[in-house]
Amino acid sequence: MQPIDLHIHTSFSDGKFQPEEIIQLANKAGMWGVGITDHDSINGIEPAIEAGNKIGIEVIPGIEFSTLFNGKEVHILGYFIDYNNKNLLEFISQMKINRLIRLKSMIEKLNSLRLKIDINDVLDLFNGDISYGRPHLAIAMLKKGLVKNYFEAFIKYIGDSRPACVVKENPPTSDVLKLIDDCGGLSFVAHPGKYINDSDVYSLINEGLDGIEIIHPSHTAAMTKHYLSVASEYFLLQTGGSDFHGIVQQDFDNFGKFHVTAKEVNEMKVRLH
């Protein structure tokens, strides 16, 4: 078996480790390859490819987009994208602007709750060319002593429906599917068992989805079996991975355990031609 984890986040989105460190972790775990799928960012791809080439680990260029579908947030993974595509880079640039606007809005809400923090408290902690999200704000809040731990920031303040949360403005799923296709890539619905029903999955298939993320820590054995059946019925491709961020112990427990193999990746490559 040649294990490949196709769902990994780096420090260019909400992961803890730099791309080069991810490659070293993958090597230690006996991985044959990895997919770098940062949120709204392609900046981790080239460093990972360079590091992978040095030790013989294949890196599949990917990305994870948050999209709006039937009134809910649905995550779409793109693989084998042309990450230098002009339209893709422009799209990502706008997404990063939207993320910063959201971050500022959440900080304003925290200030109204008498929690003293400003945008520079977040920006100064990280590389500037990343996709900022709630995890970055949570880390800054912890550094400022506003919360006792990372999770308290979400539980009390910035988690869904909490007083300082600002809902992310996401692009329509159809726009993202077209963008991935225009970049020569393949589109997959990420961890569908977490948040969408079968009706939505079938609607996404009709929108032109290429595949489903079958293997994911949030999926039960029954879910995995079900999505395998759906993929087989509709001749869809399969992906899977640990959704590694490197922040909590569970990430490390899952790394190396949730993956696909060279077989699934080769089937993707065939579909590209």
Q: CB–CB of 122/132 below 8 Å?
A: yes
Contacts of 145 (CB under 8 A, 6+ apart): none
Question: What value does the mean pLDDT of the chain take?
Answer: 95
- Taking residues 85-110, what's their average pLDDT? 95
pLDDT-based confidence at residue 194 (cuts at 50, 70, 90): confident
Give the pTM: 0.92
pLDDT-based confidence at residue 195 (cuts at 50, 70, 90): confident
d(CA 194, CA 187): 18
Residues 127-166 as b or e (16 or more Cβ within 10 Å = b): eeebbbbbbbbbbbbbeeebbeeeeebbebbbbeeeebbb
Q: CB–CB of 193/227 below 8 Å?
A: yes
Asked whether the predicted pLDDT for residue 2 surpasses 90, the reply is: no
Domains of the chain: 3-84+170-272 (3.20.20.140), 91-158 (1.10.150)
Asked whether the predicted pLDDT for residue 273 surpasses 80, the reply is: no
CA-derived radius of gyration, the chain: 18
pLDDT-based confidence at residue 130 (cuts at 50, 70, 90): confident
Give the chain as a 3 state SS string: CCEEEEEECCCCCCCCCCHHHHHHHHHHCCCCEEEECCECCCCCHHHHHHHHHHHCCEEEEEEEEEEEECCEEEEEEEECCCCCCHHHHHHHHHHHHHHHHHHHHHHHHHHHCCCCCCHHHHHCCCCCCCCCCHHHHHHHHHHCCCCCCHHHHHHHHHCCCCCCCCCCCCCEHHHHHHHHHHCCCEEEECCHHHCCCHHHHHHHHHCCCCEEEEECCCCCHHHHHHHHHHHHHCCCEEEECCCECCCCHHHHHHCCCCCEEHHHHHHHHHHHC
d(CA 78, CA 39): 11
Asked whether the predicted pLDDT for residue 248 surpasses 90, the reply is: no
Tokens 């939207």 -> residue: 98
Bridge partners of 5, per DSSP, are 34
Burial class (CB in 10 A: 0-12, 13-18, 19+), 247: middle
Tens of pLDDT, residues 106-122 = 999 999 999 999 999 99
The candidate with the shortest Cα–Cα distance to 105, out of 134, 72, 66, is: 134
Instruction: Provide the residue type at 2 as one letter.
Output: Q
Q: CB–CB of 248/222 below 8 Å?
A: no
Tokens of 85: 């595509």
- Taking residues 71-82, what's their average pLDDT? 96
Tokens of 143: 């550094």
Asked whether the predicted pLDDT for residue 212 surpasses 90, the reply is: yes
pLDDT of res. 17? 95
Tens of pLDDT, residues 249-268 = 999 999 999 999 999 999 99
Instruction: Provide the residue type at 239 as one letter.
Output: T
Asked whether the predicted pLDDT for residue 82 surpasses 90, the reply is: yes
Residues 228-238 as b or e (16 or more Cβ within 10 Å = b): eebbeeeebbb
